[in-house]
């Protein structure tokens, strides 16, 4: 009996630790660490095609483990399927760094970091910087077409920052460096994404100038503790 109890306790501890360790890997639809290339490490095969983006150092200082985009022609694109519909629960997590505040050609300019869109329907979720003409705070999530979903103040330049957009089917939330900085109940668009793009949006000319790393797409809303775990990942 004592041996059985010890075995059961051991198994229980293993399951708890394993659950904690892999909770942020559950329902992971796409994952790009940019370690030498733009392969999707989720196992779903949504590998990215790199257009003029250059490998650079990541937030830990490792060479060739993030991408630097020039804000003019560089982007990364992947054809995707089985992604969460725009009006269904989801999370987008990513790291970015810019060396200077964005400069816009007009009052409705934008720097797209990530676009997850249904190109046939012309809808989808976009994230990045937007110009003052949108009457936003600067670091936004919006729907293709321009409708603001969330807005947050841009963080300091010359440092890496972690962002997460979540939607639980009712409330949109934005987290910056582990802390919730915005929420809304904007009515979602409807459609299923077929393209995932980093650094621009399909057929667009709103390129992002800066660095991107560790991009993850989930088909559920991450919890606050999971977001903190992602933010606190150590080298």
- Position 25 scores a pLDDT of 73
| CATH architecture, domain 28-231 | Sandwich (2.60)
- Position 234 scores a pLDDT of 85
Q: Is 18 exposed, middle or buried (0-12, 13-18, 19+ CB in 10 A)?
A: exposed
- Position 197 scores a pLDDT of 98
Based on its alpha-carbon atoms, the radius of gyration of the chain, rounded to whole angstroms, reads 18
88 contact partners, CB below 8 Å, separation of at least 6: 167, 169, 219
Residue found under tokens 């046939």: 120
User: What is the reported pTM?
Assistant: 0.89
- Position 26 scores a pLDDT of 73
The answer to whether the CB of 84 falls within 8 A of the CB of 219 is: yes
User: pLDDT under 70 in the chain at which residues?
Assistant: 1-24
Domain positions in the chain: 28-231
- Position 114 scores a pLDDT of 98
- Position 24 scores a pLDDT of 58
- Position 9 scores a pLDDT of 35
- Position 16 scores a pLDDT of 34
């Amino acid at each position: 009996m004592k041996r059985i109890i010890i075995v059961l306790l051991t198994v229980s501890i293993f399951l708890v630790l394993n659950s904690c360790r892999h909770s942020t890997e559950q329902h992971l639809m796409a994952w790009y660490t940019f370690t030498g290339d733009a392969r999707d490490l989720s196992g779903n095969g949504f590998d990215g095609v790199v257009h003029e983006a250059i490998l650079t150092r990541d937030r830990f200082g490792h060479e060739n483990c993030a991408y630097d985009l020039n804000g003019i022609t560089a982007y990364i694109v992947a054809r995707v399927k089985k992604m969460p519909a725009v009006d269904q629960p989801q999370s987008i997590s990513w790291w970015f760094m810019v060396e200077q505040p964005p400069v816009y050609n007009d009052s409705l300019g934008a720097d797209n970091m990530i676009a997850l869109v249904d190109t046939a329907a012309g809808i989808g979720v976009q994230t990045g910087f937007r110009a003052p003409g949108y009457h936003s705070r600067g670091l936004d999530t919006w729907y293709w077409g321009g409708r603001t979903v969330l807005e947050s103040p841009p963080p300091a330049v010359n440092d890496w920052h972690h962002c997460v957009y979540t939607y639980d089917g009712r409330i949109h939330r934005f987290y910056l460096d582990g802390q919730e900085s915005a929420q809304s109940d904007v009515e979602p668009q409807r459609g299923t994404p077929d393209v995932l793009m980093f650094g621009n949006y399909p057929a667009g000319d709103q390129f992002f100038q800066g660095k991107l790393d560790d991009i993850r797409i989930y088909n559920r809303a991450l919890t606050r503790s999971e977001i903190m775990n992602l933010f606190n990942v150590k080298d």
